Amino acid sequence: MKCVFLQPSYIPWRGFFDQIYRADIFVFFDNVQYDKRGWRNRNRIKTPHGIQWLTIPVHSKGSQTENISINQIHISWDHPWNEDHWKTLKMAYAKTPYYKRYAPLLESFYTTRPEMLADFTIDTTIALARELGITHPSFLRSSSLGVPGSKTGNKTDRLINILNKLGATTYITGPSAKNYIEQEKFQEAQINLLYMSYNYIEYPQFYPPYDPQVSILDLLFMTGPDAMNFIIHSKEE
């Protein structure tokens, strides 16, 4: 039983979906502290004028000091950011090979007015995973599992508690986790620990130079039903 934990993110990059693909159970880690400068409410797309950030405005004042969890962050509707994001995406990708294929799904995201950031980012991520053809993992939220979040205990201990609760035998995580994970605790818990390697092959892109660190939307618009081939295959193959 392979398990992945990732904090919910806004239209994330292909590495996020690679981890979804490899999981039997995928847990959105939504009851950990919200980080203002992370990927929870923003991501990057390619445009004729270079890389552009799309950022969902949120009510997050004081979140760093008050330890507000991701699932407690409210979206700000002081201005119609959803219309702005959709307009920007149309201008950037209208001429791509698969724009017409995915435009109706994406437009449906941007005509809603969700209250909570996590609800919006999780729902859109699951929908995009299904669109990629990833159908096998079970999706859960850490906040629904009855295991304490960011305010209680050691980070590795929290992970192992959830893994044990789910009956997981393997935990898959990104390479940066090597800097903080206590590997000996996984050995004691008899849980295999696997690290991702993000060594992806290049795919066709508009607006050179090539940039791999952009939203999954870029890959979908450019490669359509072949997108998974650029997610599950690495340069070494």
Question: 192-201 pLDDT, tens per residue?
Answer: 999 999 999 9
Our count of domains for the chain comes to: 1
Q: Say what the pLDDT of residue 67 is.
A: 76
* pLDDT at residue 2 greater than cutoff 60: yes
User: What percent of the chain is predicted at pLDDT more than 90?
Assistant: 84
Q: What is the rounded average pLDDT of the residues 205-216?
A: 96
Q: Tell whether 183 is covered by a domain.
A: yes
Tell me what pLDDT residue 155 has.
Answer: 81
The structure's pTM equals: 0.94
Q: Is residue 90 part of a domain?
A: yes
How is residue 185 written in tokens? 């605790």
φ/ψ of residue 30, rounded to 5: -100, -5
**7 in a domain, yes or no?**
yes
HSE (side-chain half, CA atoms, 13 Å) at 44: 11
The mean pLDDT value for 92-100 works out to 98
Tell me whether residue 91 is in a domain.
Answer: yes
Q: Which domain holds residue 115?
A: 2-232
The confidence band for 65, taking pLDDT boundaries of 50, 70 and 90, is: very low
Please report the sign of the dihedral spanned by the C-alpha atoms of residue 170, residue 174, residue 132, residue 200: negative
Least confident of 3-7, 145-149, 185-189: 145-149
Q: How confident is the model at residue 66 (pLDDT cuts 50, 70, 90)?
A: low
**Is 226 within a domain?**
yes
Quote the pLDDT of residue 36. Answer: 86
Decide if pLDDT at 91 tops 80. Answer: yes
Domain annotation covers residue 92: yes
pLDDT band at 28 (very low <50, low <70, confident <90, very high): very high
How high is the mean pLDDT of the chain?
93
Residue 4 and residue 20 in contact, taking contact as beta carbons nearer than 8 Å: yes
Q: What are phi and psi of 139, to 5 degrees?
A: -100, 130
Strands 42-47, 74-75: parallel, antiparallel or unpaired by DSSP? unpaired
Q: What are phi and psi of 150, to 5 degrees?
A: -75, -15
Instruction: For residues 92 and 4, give the distance between their C-alpha atoms in angstroms, rounded to a whole number.
Output: 32
Q: Is residue 237 part of a domain?
A: no
Rounded to 5 degrees, φ, ψ at 230 are -95, 0
Residue 212 has a pLDDT of 95
Residue 176 is given by DSSP the state G
